[in-house]
Amino acid sequence: MDNIQMVDLKSQYQKIKGEVDASIQEVVDSAAFINGPKVKEFAKDLETYLGVKNVIPCANGTDALQIALMALGLKPGDEVITPSFTYIATVEVVGLLKLKPIFCDVDKETFCMDVNHLESLITPNTKAIIPVHLYGQSAPMDEILEVAKKHNLPIIEDNAQAIGGSYTHTSGNKSANGTMGDIGTTSFFPSKNLGCYGDGGAIFTNNAELAAKIRMIANHGQSKKYVHDMVGCNSRLDSMQAAVLGIKLKHLDTYCSARRKVADTYDAAFAESDKITTPKRRENSYHVFHQYTLVLNDIDRDMVVHKLSEKGIPAMIYYPIPAHRQKMFEEFDSEGQELPNTDWLTQRVISLPIHTEMKEDVQQYIIDNFLEIVNG
Ligand SMILES: *Cc1c(COP(=O)(O)O)cnc(C)c1O
């Protein structure tokens, strides 16, 4: 069983090589490397796929978050509530823009924002909420939307890990992740569920005014050629990446199903072990398993990671240090904030390989070894 990886992008490429190569070749032949037709075409296709009025491509998922926050016109010191249990980019942009991150705890079972804690954190200085659809599962959006509405706060959904996933509202209506807040953001980093072959990102909104502002910010605050109305940045998705994404978008639903099938197999295999708590799926969320992250009960996690690696099985800790304990936020004294579930999970989570090309025998090998190591 050689060379098991967390994500197998090589095998995935082999299956779509013809389509992808042809699409990239078109860009090379046309020399329309920046803002070419491929970019516009992909943005349109993604709008249709998500059912959102505006998709604005940009350079990466971190820029997408930054631009979204810039579009809300916040002032230095304004408070933005985000989970601490997330990839650092979600919170880093808050600090970068001199806003104040306020950390919200997460639910122990679903890893997403704890809504009761969220509401308790709201002050007159709160100006935005950033829920994260962590590991591929929707945050509890109806509850978050209700809190936001009550306090008249905008929502930016960090959907870097859950594109292709959806949320069913209590009304019965279904929404694609990233389209429920005022703004949604995503990343096309290669290992993401919809990944390109370099860096890429996008911003979604149904609000025409915000869309116009976001387009402007992503392009040097430019309203007309060489007319700059505000300080923006330079953040573009290049045509080569759009060429790849246009092809991969057509396969996204299949990719999501493949990931879910791997998760189903893990869930079934681990159900009986009292050392393992498998990831809970909320009924109203179509979980797309960017990661398969489980909780280890009373086991030395370093030992597990080490023994897995001896068997050639990679495992990752997403994330080993929560944002509120990072030195970068020292000035906010965030370490003193009580986030019991975040700290509890940080000590216990482990992520196993999951991707679109998982072979049954490989997964069985991972399962057998993992069970043997944890059950002792
Ligand atoms: C990957 C990721 C980002 C950042 O995306 P980049 O394209 O790497 O900048 C932001 N938030 C979350 C939750 C992510 O997983």
CA-nearest residue, atom 3 of ligand 1: 61
Tens-place pLDDT, residues 236-286: 999 999 999 999 999 999 999 999 999 999 999 999 999 999 999 999 999
Tens-place pLDDT, residues 162-192: 999 999 999 999 999 999 999 999 999 999 9
Q: Which ligand 1 atom sits nearest the alpha carbon of residue 62? A: 9
Average pLDDT value for the chain:
97
Q: Is the pLDDT of residue 335 over 80?
A: no
Q: Which residues line ligand 1 (CB under 6 A)?
A: 60-62, 86-87, 89-90, 132, 158, 160-161, 187, 189, 199, 201
Q: Which residues pair with 293 in a beta bridge?
A: 351
**What pLDDT, on a 0 to 100 scale, did the predictor assign at position 376?**
84
Pocket perturbation via mutation, ligand 1, pick of 65, 85, 87, 290 by most ligand atoms within 8 A of CB: 87
Would you place residue 366 in the very low, low, confident or very high pLDDT band (cuts 50, 70, 90)? very high
Q: Residues 85-96: what's their mean pLDDT?
A: 98
DSSP for 219-230, written as a single string: BTTEEETTEE-S
DSSP for 21-54, written as a single string: HHHHHHHHHHT--BS-HHHHHHHHHHHHHHT-SE
DSSP E strands in 215-312: the ranges are: 222-224, 227-228, 276-277, 285-286, 292-296
CA of 89 to the centre of ligand 1 (A): 6
Q: Residues 41-63: what's their mean pLDDT?
A: 98
Q: Is the pLDDT of residue 4 over 90?
A: yes
**What pLDDT, on a 0 to 100 scale, did the predictor assign at position 267?**
98
Among 42-56, 83-97, 254-268, 331-345, the minimum mean pLDDT is found in: 331-345
d(CA 143, CA 280): 18
CA-nearest residue, atom 6 of ligand 1: 61
Q: Residues 221-248: what's their mean pLDDT?
A: 97
Q: Which ligand 1 atom sits nearest the alpha carbon of residue 89? A: 10
Q: Residues 27-47: what's their mean pLDDT?
A: 97
**What pLDDT, on a 0 to 100 scale, did the predictor assign at position 336?**
77
CA-nearest residue, atom 14 of ligand 1: 160
CA-nearest residue, atom 2 of ligand 1: 160
CA of 171 to the centre of ligand 1 (A): 30
Radius of gyration of the chain (CA): 21
**What pLDDT, on a 0 to 100 scale, did the predictor assign at position 359?**
97
d(CA 281, CA 137): 7
Q: Which domains does the chain have, with CATH numbers?
A: 9-104+111-250 (3.40.640.10), 252-375 (3.90.1150.10)
**What pLDDT, on a 0 to 100 scale, did the predictor assign at position 244?**
98
**What pLDDT, on a 0 to 100 scale, did the predictor assign at position 71?**
98
Top-confidence residue, 191 or 336: 191
Q: Is the pLDDT of residue 2 over 90?
A: no
* Contacting residues for 14 by C-beta, under 8 A, at least 6 apart: none
Q: Is the pLDDT of residue 332 over 90?
A: no
Cis upstream peptide for 319 (omega within 30°): yes
**What pLDDT, on a 0 to 100 scale, did the predictor assign at position 202?**
98
Q: For the chain, what percent of residues have pLDDT higher than 90? A: 97
Pocket perturbation via mutation, ligand 1, pick of 161, 203, 316 by most ligand atoms within 8 A of CB: 161
**What pLDDT, on a 0 to 100 scale, did the predictor assign at position 333?**
80
| Strand order, beta sheet including 201-205 | 54-58, 201-205, 183-187, 156-158
Q: Is the pLDDT of residue 334 over 90?
A: no
Pocket perturbation via mutation, ligand 1, pick of 113, 138, 187 by most ligand atoms within 8 A of CB: 187
